[in-house]
Amino acid sequence: MPLAHAELLRDTIDIEAPPDRVWGLISDVRHMSRWSPQVDSVRLRDGVDQIGPGTEFTNLNHEGELRWTTHGTIVRFTPEQEIAFRIEENWTIWSFRITPLPDDRTRLIQRRGTPDGISDYSLDVTERYLGGQQAFTHILRAGMRQTLQRIKAAAEQPDAAV
């Protein structure tokens, strides 16, 4: 039976850059390997080149020596506000939400929600290979912090690529 009430993971960072610059960095899932310490690569599926609701993609991930593939679908996409995607294998929904702040700054929130619980398959893999749910949650939280810090550093560069 799936874990029905998995913990919501959430982290926030304030960025000294305008929302459109931050959006330019996070709105294309193919760039996640630049930000997330766990993502090695992201490829859009079925020859699609545009990002939007329903876009499907494949991730290559790692943690230590373990490597695995996941498949995601963008479930929310509001330009310069939010991008969210659901991972097929574990049912989690990852999102980034942008909030404009005074003085052309941005608050960026990253979340991992589990509205449908976590799949039995994912729970089993986590127990067998990733030290259990509590240990892996700790790894995910640290990865979220690192992800946000990397986005912040890139966005605050004067020549930030959008």
What digits encode the pLDDT tens for the residues 59-91?
Answer: 999 999 999 999 999 999 999 999 999 999 999
- Whether residue 72 contacts residue 57, with contact meaning beta carbons closer than 8 Å, is answered with yes
Per-residue pLDDT reduced to its tens digit, 12-56: 999 999 999 999 999 999 999 999 999 999 999 977 888 999 999
Cβ-count burial of 2 within 10 angstroms (0-12 exposed, 13-18 middle, 19+ buried)?
middle
Query: Is the dihedral angle over the CA atoms 29, 102, 113, 76 positive or is it negative?
Result: negative
* Entry pTM: 0.92
**Cα separation of 43 and 60, whole Å?**
9
Q: Which domains does the chain have, with CATH numbers?
A: 9-155 (3.30.530.20)
